[in-house]
A and B are shown apart, each in its own frame.
Chain A
Amino acid sequence: MSQIKNTVIYIVLCLLGVIFAASGAGGQTSTVWDRLYIVFFGFTEQRFFMDSFVYYCIIFLGFVYLFQTHLSIVLTERIYYQLIRYPSLYRWFWQFFRPVMLKGILLLTVLFCVTIIAGVWEGKSFSLTLMEVAGSSVPMLVYHFFINGFLQLMNYVLISFIVIWIWKKGEYSLITLGILMVLSLPILNQKLIFPSGLNSLGHVGGGENVIVQISIILLIYLLVELFIIYYLFKKRGVSL
């Protein structure tokens, strides 16, 4: 199936989940922020809903799947013709990665806006309170959605980049997605050790410290992944 068809299917699935509130609980909330919380609840060690988990995987791992497909084509078909026009692999990487970052920001922004608009459409309040999570605030929710959401997305993307750069095989990218999904399961990630599923809005219930801790964990992983990419570029080049 072509990349365009895959992208269209992905966008439709994302929007359907937002508009019809994937967990089914979206309709029972009282503010648009509660609706955002429920739709992107994801999963935590305390609460796990299969539909939220599946919707999370569709949104975030779907994004990575599209990225992997694009990267595989570039690496196997076009890489040399692009590289010879850049002074170095690092410059190429930055040019390649920048649009991915922008697409990540766009994805989060569109999901946020559509969720809020759908909430307003349903007649929910705009009041800056979170009824679903005691002791939490809307700014923290929005911070977690955008900042940790972006950091998590970039973690997924860089991990898949590393895997594909080393093995250059589509099958490995699918295996990576599978491993990421398994690592996302709360039972395996109780201590928030793996950079997987950490942007679930369910973590907002853990308080401000947990949200900041997640940001730091994701940032550390990003730095490690960037270092691995630097090492791969330096030692292996484009591979054989």
Chain B
Amino acid sequence: MALIELINVNKTFKNNPILTDISIRFEKGLIYGITGNNGSGKSVLFKMICGFIPPDEGSIVIDPNYMDQKAKFPKNFGIIIDRPGYDGSKNGFDNLKTLAIIQSLISDEEIKNAMKTVGLDPDNKQKVKNYSLGMKQKLSLAQAIMENQEVLILDEPFNALDSESVENIRKLLLDYKNNGKTIFLTSHNQEDIDLLCDHVLRIDNYKLVEVR
């Protein structure tokens, strides 16, 4: 069974089409790159896959191993969607801890390890409102991976990162893929897509077209 299957999915917003008749299967253990112009519907596609917004027509089927019965949202998914959203008055660790408490799956040590993995100092007491854009982006990445999520949906994960950090995150994502994780990502940098993705899809005229 496919990890995620979209069957004849349509989505409109205020009578404007966003995605039309999308049918596609996403398999486990691969990196998928989704490209498209600004406002083409990449974020909407991700939100629908996560169950945050329902399709107007069609259906999205998630492998039952990633979806509890009666649940609306998949489990074991790590995401970066829209923007890195944090409580600016807390430090990075406390922000992640607030999210980790929801499921209580990981220890403080695992949160700190996730921060170190993306290049953040877990003992830094600086409030997030004083973080640079790159640090905020790294914090987003740490939140997406900290619970050892099996599926990562990353909207522009390389935004605002310096070249060294981009290298680190690329390596990290390739390691994850080699360990069987599935990754969806968008990037405006073609090099990220070329280097990382097994399949590349483009949203063009409300359709999802396979590019590679």
List chain A positions with a Cβ less than 8 A from chain B. 2, 4, 73, 76-89, 95, 235-240
Contacts and interface: CB of A to CB of B under 8 A. Distances in A.
A contact face: mostly helix, strand, loop, or mixed:
helix
Interface string B76-93: 011101110111010000
A238 B103 contact: no
Contact of A235 (B44, B52, B54, B71): B54
Interface in B36-85: 44, 47, 50-54, 68, 70-75, 77-79, 81-83, 85
A240 B13 contact: yes
B79 A87 contact: no
B102 A238 contact: no
A2 B70 contact: no
Contact of A88 (B47, B72, B78, B103): B72
A87 B99 CA distance: 14
B44 to A, nearest CB: 7
B73 A239 contact: no
Interface residues of B, number: 29
B198 to A, nearest CB: 24
Contacts of A238: 47, 52-53
A89 B83 CA distance: 20
B72 A87 contact: yes
A96 to B, nearest CB: 11
Given A2-B89, A79-B85, A238-B52, 17 more contacts: A78-B87, A80-B81, A82-B102, A84-B50, A84-B74, A84-B78, A85-B102, A85-B103, A86-B102, A87-B70, A87-B71, A87-B72, A87-B73, A88-B71, A235-B54, A238-B53, A240-B47
Contact of B51 (A2, A235, A237): A237
A24 B99 CA distance: 47
A80 B52 contact: yes
A75 to B, nearest CB: 10
Interface in B90-107: 99, 102-103
17 contacts: A73-B87, A78-B86, A80-B47, A81-B143, A82-B99, A82-B102, A83-B52, A84-B50, A84-B73, A84-B78, A85-B99, A85-B102, A87-B71, A88-B71, A95-B102, A236-B54, A238-B47
A87 B82 CA distance: 20
A237 B52 contact: yes
A98 to B, nearest CB: 13
A89 B72 contact: yes
